[in-house]
Structure 1
Amino acid sequence: MKRMLAAVATLCAGAAQAMTDAELKSVVERRLSGDRTGACFAVAVIDDEIARTYVCANAKDAGRIDSKTAFELGSVTKTLTATLFADLMAQGKVSLEAPLASLLPKGTKVPTFQGKPILLKHIVTHTSGLPSLPSRLPLKDPANPYADLDEKTLLESLADVKLEQAPGSRFEYSNFGMMLLSAGIARRAGVDFETLLDRRLFTPLGMEGAYVNERPDTVRVATGHLPNGQPTSAWTFATNLAGVGGVHATLDDMVRYVEAGLGRRKSSITPAVQRTLRPIETPSGQRMGMSWMLTPLVGRTVHVHEGGTGGFTSLVALDVQQRRGVVVLSDTALLSLNGLGSLGMHLLDASVPPGEPRKVVAADPALMDALVGHYELTGGLKLRLGRKGNALEIQAEGQPAFELGYDSAGDFFPLAFDAVLRPKRLEGGGYGFTWIQLGAESEARRVDAQ
């Protein structure tokens, strides 16, 4: 479900000009056509005019997505949750300075650090000190990891937490914290989270295809895919915990949402959307709005959030200064491949390269030979890399071996599941690698003589 876009290096050049549909399609095709993932993108640029396009890596998949297709938004949902929170703030029902405990059932054990409580501003800036995931997450199906988590188990997990530093002092992305906020604001509003979204956000903005668990008849849900092109399971959430990543939406739904953030669509919820964009200061030094990353781009600051589930990737970016916004929705999980950031930033400012499609190419035999050996990942998992004819294969201790492909970006990847092996030249000579899987990166340490 995570992660957000890393800070973009400052470049020189002016902001991108307004686009036509045809111009946008050309840019997206240049980024995606022939990509080894087989992904399809729904993309919009919101300016004085709105440009839209639907592009697939393979021309044969052209009908896979369209204007009626709803995508899993993953963590972009957190900005919608923040909007509901800002709306409750405007009603005088919550405050950024209120403790997290104020939104939870009476008697809930909430951790503190040396008497300092977790405040709600710490939740929306990911500085609460809470871990990424609850300790008691019942992971019955790794392909649908949140399906069996309920509010009772979530709160029991909160009692397990021991804070290591004062809330607000360090940025640490926490899905756990946002699930607590999701349940808490539903509790404060007196309705379930999906009903709250529909009444206060979706209906005022005309987001007719957006939903959590109750899909409107007017839309069809996209099938998610792994980066190897294989279909994968949808992610599901208990309704009141869905504010962490459980919203589905069409491209036009997200266009309307971005229009509100830019002040281009007036509605009863527009002030709350815009309120989430204001900076919140914490001792951590991390620049954040309410669930928005504040990211430098060519001398100005833009608001960005990326999201990902098992089979989807999303990006929403707003350049408030230029009154320009971008939405990119993909029916394929791409976070392990650096997500959608380059394309999104290019569409905000043409000076940022849009990225290139990853195409399958032959790996240098000398590189493969240099990687052959035994390794140990951070955390202790032991791996073996070996040659299999003209390819490399990887085998974890006690598991079968899997053949690796190689792409034009210089990464190896398993043909059978979603992960990336990124070779790294070592200072003393030879090669090591970084293993990227499920959004986490682990360094591999060679444990044999090269």
Structure 2
Amino acid sequence: MLPNALTLAALLAVSGSASSMTDAELAGIVDQRLAGDRTGACLAVALVDGDAVARTYRCADGTANPRIGADSAFEIGSVSKTMTAALLAQLIAEGKASLDDPLSAWLPAGTAVPTFEGQPILLRHVVTHTSGLPALPARMQMTDPADPYATLTPEALLASLGDVTLTRAPGAQFEYSNFASMLLSYAIAQRAGQPFESLINSRLFAPLGMDQAHIAQRPDGVRAAAGHLPNGSGTPAWTIPGDMAGVGGVRATLDDMVRYVQAQLGHAEGATAAPVLAALQLTHQPVSQHPPVAMHWMIVPLAGRNVLMHEGGTGGFSSLVGFDPAQGRGVVILSDTAVSALGGLGSLGAHLLDPSVPPGKPRKLTTPPSELIDGLVGTWCFDTGMQAELARSGDTLTIHPPGQPVFELAYDDAGDFFPTQFDAVLTPQRAADGSYSIVWRQGGGTSVATRVTDGAPAAAAAANGASRGDVPLEDYAGSYTLMPGFVLKVDSADGRLRAQATGQGAFPLDATGTDSFAAPAFGIELHFRRDADGEVTSLELHQGEQVLRGARI
């Protein structure tokens, strides 16, 4: 989600103010983002502003009776990680844990946990995604892509640690890891001596009055919202087994999440809530600075204050929780459709925390420009090694992977093509010289493709990061202020240029032309500018329709 996080961080750098609003006013704002959206998504949204709470349930088709309501439980995905962090924070407050505990001390004796030159993975590295562990365990057998975690066992989870060789010191670099988060969830349950669902219910849900929140044991009177792919078709619920569920297995209603946000802001009733509130405050404290991360909360700047946020997603759902402790304001957005690959919910969440930020707009079906179709027709080679043929079909494209049927692609006004028969997104990227590359997103993965031509080897070399031999990478190194409080740091590593925005992880750049570089997977282009003496003095960052310009510090 790096591109979403980068855009969100830029948006949050804008200052503004918000005031309490009515349910009807909130519905109007949500409609600005949602009405007519080609995904058909439905959103449950709440704005917490002091003691006031506005709520709305809206669908893209504008129906008066949305398919979701107050009794609908949504999969909240990775927002669950912040709840696992709250459980750990309670143990820390009780003197039973420390962020400086080695992960190995929390796992069964004999578990092979990797180290780097003798440096162990600590719990602080797990809650900040700097452990160095990969995104998923190597021994995770995905028998059903629509329910990928269903057959994962604790034995396979722990054995996968023995397959890892750390390539850098823990704490050195941010790299999102569900693997590490599953280990933490499992370890906390084992340390507590009770199933994870019982633990989170007794130590978090019950004290905060989150009476309808659950993992597998759905309370009476709660209905499971049905999940949907971005093409509008239904998709099965996800199953994250047993004690690993803290990685993303929580299901909750809008009111459950309102109570969760109110607690983050220091408000909850009952004597049993007091220790929970203290633990939640502990999860807000910065643990890592590059980028700024608390205990499973991302910290992003907002007009000189810190806003904490986390987005989540499963196969059929997306979610966002964010709050501004200084202003006593928070937001919850729950979607019954997976929209992470289409930009997520960040723009709407940012707008509700600060109305000076645009709320985003719906993606609507449209006809692609004829010249764009002509520019994409041809054979393409993906970095996975697969080839596919793009061909014109009337006023749109088709894609034909070898040995598979021909699939028609529709087009939306955000500039993306997508197959109508299954869930994926094809994003064209145009370089400064007019040539195209394409980015394919499917199932949480991203693949970049270049056109197969007589010059393919040279093009592939550029795509794989070969730097221009006539320009030293050091020419571009430095920090560039794109907005107040939002700086892009550029440096080089292993013969390749890379960039890192305020509050985000670093991402590699490929040379695309004279003083031009790109990160195609994220839709980012950088164009460096020189003065009369040939010194690089500024850059332009292009992402989607947004252009940010910054002088070199």
TM-score, normalised by the number of residues in structure 1: 0.97
- Bigger mean CA deviation after superposition, 435-444 or 100-109: 435-444
Tell me the equivalent position of 2:134: 131
Which amino acid in structure 2 is aligned with residue 217 of structure 1? D
Tell me the equivalent position of 2:86: 83
Q: Deviations over 1:38-90 (max 9, x none)?
A: 00000000112000000000134733000000000110100011001101111
Instruction: Report matched runs for 1:232-381 at 5 Å.
Output: 232-266=235-269, 267-268=273-274, 269-281=276-288, 285-381=290-386
Displacement of 1:298 in angstroms is 3.1
Displacement of 1:440 in angstroms is 3.0
CA contact (8 A) 1:2 1:439 kept: no
The SS at the match of 1:116 is coil
Q: 1:70 aligns with which of 69, 73, 80?
A: 73
Tell me the equivalent position of 1:163: 166
1:4 to 1:120, Cα distance in 2 relative to 1, 3 A? farther
- In 2, distance between residues paired with 1:264 and 1:273? 11
- In 1, distance between residues paired with 2:2 and 2:288? 22
Stretches of structure 1 lacking an aligned partner (at least 5 in a row) = none
- In 1, distance between residues paired with 2:112 and 2:199? 26
Tell me the equivalent position of 1:190: 193
- In 1, distance between residues paired with 2:36 and 2:215? 32
Which amino acid in structure 2 is aligned with residue 93 of structure 1? K
Tell me the equivalent position of 1:437: 442
- Bigger mean CA deviation after superposition, 273-282 or 129-138: 273-282
Q: 2:399 aligns with which of 394, 407, 425?
A: 394
- In 2, distance between residues paired with 1:271 and 1:76? 19
Alignment root-mean-square deviation, CA: 1.6
Which amino acid in structure 2 is aligned with residue 249 of structure 1? A
CA contact (8 A) 1:11 1:351 kept: no
The SS at the match of 2:235 is coil
CA contact (8 A) 1:293 1:303 kept: yes
- In 1, distance between residues paired with 2:386 and 2:18? 46
- Bigger mean CA deviation after superposition, 410-419 or 48-57: 410-419
CA contact (8 A) 2:58 2:66 kept: no
Structure ranking higher on relative contact order (CA contacts 8 Å, 6+ apart): 1
CA contact (8 A) 1:212 1:246 kept: yes
Tell me the equivalent position of 2:483: none
Q: Deviations over 1:219-259 (max 9, x none)?
A: 10000000010000100011200010000000000000010
- In 2, distance between residues paired with 1:168 and 1:379? 30
The SS at the match of 2:9 is coil
The SS at the match of 1:166 is coil
Displacement of 1:279 in angstroms is 0.5
- In 2, distance between residues paired with 1:133 and 1:168? 18
CA contact (8 A) 1:175 1:244 kept: yes
Which amino acid in structure 2 is aligned with residue 281 of structure 1? S
Which amino acid in structure 1 is aligned with residue 285 of structure 2? R
- In 2, distance between residues paired with 1:5 and 1:73? 18
Displacement of 1:447 in angstroms is 1.1
Tell me the equivalent position of 1:102: 105
Which amino acid in structure 1 is aligned with residue 27 of structure 2? K
Percent of paired sites with the same residue: 56
- Bigger mean CA deviation after superposition, 266-275 or 340-349: 266-275
CA contact (8 A) 1:71 1:312 kept: yes
Which amino acid in structure 2 is aligned with residue 181 of structure 1? L
The answer to whether the aligner puts 1:8 opposite 2:13 as a matched pair is no
CA contact (8 A) 2:13 2:301 kept: no
Tell me the equivalent position of 2:493: none
The SS at the match of 1:199 is helix
CA contact (8 A) 2:140 2:156 kept: yes
Q: 1:32 aligns with which of 23, 31, 34?
A: 34
The SS at the match of 1:194 is helix
- Bigger mean CA deviation after superposition, 166-175 or 298-307: 298-307
Displacement of 1:273 in angstroms is 1.5
The SS at the match of 1:325 is strand
- In 2, distance between residues paired with 1:413 and 1:212? 33
- In 1, distance between residues paired with 2:281 and 2:71? 27
CA contact (8 A) 1:4 1:306 kept: no
Task: Please tell me whether Structure 1 or Structure 2 has the larger radius of gyration of its CA atoms.
Answer: 2
- Bigger mean CA deviation after superposition, 384-393 or 440-449: 440-449
CA contact (8 A) 1:3 1:439 kept: no
- In 1, distance between residues paired with 2:437 and 2:171? 36
CA contact (8 A) 1:224 1:310 kept: yes
The SS at the match of 2:183 is helix
TM-score, normalised by the number of residues in structure 2: 0.79
- In 2, distance between residues paired with 1:65 and 1:46? 20
CA contact (8 A) 1:336 1:438 kept: no
Displacement of 1:299 in angstroms is 3.1
- In 2, distance between residues paired with 1:173 and 1:11? 23
Tell me the equivalent position of 1:448: 453
Which amino acid in structure 1 is aligned with residue 246 of structure 2? G
Q: 1:43 aligns with which of 19, 23, 45?
A: 45
CA contact (8 A) 2:430 2:436 kept: yes
Displacement of 1:431 in angstroms is 2.1
- In 1, distance between residues paired with 2:145 and 2:402? 20
Displacement of 1:301 in angstroms is 1.8
- Higher strand fraction (1 or 2): 2
- In 1, distance between residues paired with 2:2 and 2:150? 17
Q: Deviations over 1:15-38 (max 9, x none)?
A: 222211111000001110110000
The answer to whether the aligner puts 1:428 opposite 2:429 as a matched pair is no
Displacement of 1:446 in angstroms is 1.0
The answer to whether the aligner puts 1:179 opposite 2:182 as a matched pair is yes
Instruction: Report matched runs for 1:397-408 at 5 Å.
Output: 397-408=402-413
Q: Deviations over 1:307-347 (max 9, x none)?
A: 00000000000111111000000000001101000000000
1:117 to 1:445, Cα distance in 2 relative to 1, 3 A? same
Which amino acid in structure 2 is aligned with residue 149 of structure 1? L
- In 1, distance between residues paired with 2:378 and 2:454? 8
CA contact (8 A) 2:85 2:127 kept: yes
- In 1, distance between residues paired with 2:113 and 2:75? 31
Displacement of 1:11 in angstroms is 4.6
CA contact (8 A) 1:373 1:448 kept: no
CA contact (8 A) 1:260 1:274 kept: no
